[in-house]
Chain A
């Protein structure tokens, strides 16, 4: 019987009308047939697991990537970092940058109201991950509706960009277009730039840590101290750790350096070329 066992993708090797191979006796014993059935089930199980891996590692990236690109395009106020800088002879310097005197102190930062669930209200730029890195930030950290689809999610109830407190966001580190794939490359002092409809917020990475999933103090208004009054304008990125695992969380904290209204160009930080690995 094993001679007739075949994977579904190569069906042409079996003989129609001749289910029992000629080598086997006309009626195979029950033991032989049982073994062959188990073998076939194992082949199917293997194919199923293989397909799952293909789906998780490749297909989710394709689908979520498309969705996130569409969301970005629908934000008419967002600066499109992926647009190629046109080689216009008159302006080959790229987009205008915010002058130093236009940088405003964190204390005066405008804070938008928390939007409705699923609303995309900001974009994130991380020069450490490339000058073309831009991802939408949406409300909520529900996996099926936000993180698996829209990309970066904002923890409901935590601060909004620029707020005195903690602007806490979460995203996949692997699969689903992996917005935070290179979170472990962030170094102290790296810029994390958030744009909303009305303002740019330039944060600087202060530290990173690896915690267990129950350690929610990392997204407290004063990071690390639940119940404490916030003394700064923070940003917190959370993602899974180690990669491809749900065992722990990789956390990056940052603090607001300055903000600026939109319309006067882009923060020079997001144009800064950092050598990519």
Chain B
């Protein structure tokens, strides 16, 4: 459903579609690494190493 749809959306021959897909994946990963994941880790406080407040 989603994957065939994305595949159909790509123009050109197979090699071009593969290239475009790889670029698309790279772009998505870059956005996740740069903005989404840093936001997730601080917002949901998955790791914390400080005691809560300064006495």
Binding site for B on A (CB under 8 A): 1, 4-9, 11-12, 14, 16-17, 19, 33, 36-37, 40-41, 44, 48, 51-52, 55-56, 59, 141, 143-144, 147-148, 153, 155-158, 170-175, 180, 211, 213-220, 226-227, 238-240, 244-246, 249
Residue on A nearest B13 in the bound complex, by CB:
A16
Report if A11-B51 is in contact (Cβ < 8 Å); known contacts: A19-B8, A246-B45: no
When distances are taken between beta carbons in the complex, the residues of chain A under 8 Å from B33 are 51, 55, 59
Question: A36-B1, A249-B49 known; A51 and B18 CB under 8 Å?
Answer: no
In the assembled complex, the Cα of A143 lies from the Cα of B41 at a distance in Å of 10
Closest CB-CB distance, A137 to chain B, in whole Å? 14
A-B contact pairs, 8 of them (CB 8 A): A12-B14, A17-B8, A37-B1, A148-B38, A172-B47, A213-B51, A216-B55, A244-B47
Asked whether, in the complex, the Cβ of A175 is within 8 Å of the Cβ of B47, the reply is yes
Query: Within B31-45, which residues are at the interface with A (CB < 8 Å)?
Result: 32-33, 37-38, 40-42, 45
**Chain B contact residues, CB within 8 Å of chain A:** 1-8, 14, 17-18, 21, 24-25, 29, 32-33, 37-38, 40-42, 45-55
Chain B residues contacting A147 (CB-CB under 8 Å) are 49-50
What does DSSP make chain B's interface, helix, strand, loop or mixed? Answer: helix
Q: Identify 19 new A-B residue pairs, CB closer than 8 A, beyond the known A6-B3, A8-B3.
A: A1-B1, A16-B14, A19-B5, A37-B1, A51-B33, A52-B32, A56-B46, A143-B48, A144-B38, A147-B49, A147-B50, A155-B54, A158-B54, A170-B51, A172-B47, A180-B49, A213-B48, A214-B52, A216-B51
* CB of B24, distance to nearest CB on chain A (Å): 8
Residues in A with CB closer than 8 Å to B54 are 155-158, 216, 219
Our pick among A6, A48, A214, A246 for the contact of B47 (Cβ within 8 Å) is A246
Contact in complex: B1, A40 (CB < 8 Å): yes
What distance in Å separates the Cβ of B16 from its nearest Cβ neighbour in chain A? 11
Question: Given A33-B1, A220-B55, is A11 in contact with B18 using a C-beta cutoff of 8 Å?
Answer: yes
Q: Decide if A218 touches B48 in the complex (CB within 8 Å).
A: no
Complex interface: chain B residues within 8 A of A171 (CB): 49
Across the interface, do A219 and B4 meet the contact criterion of CB distance under 8 Å? Answer: no
- Most A C-beta atoms less than 10 A away, residue of B3, B42, B53, B54: B3
Q: Per a CB cutoff under 8 Å, which of B3, B29, B50 touches A238?
A: B50
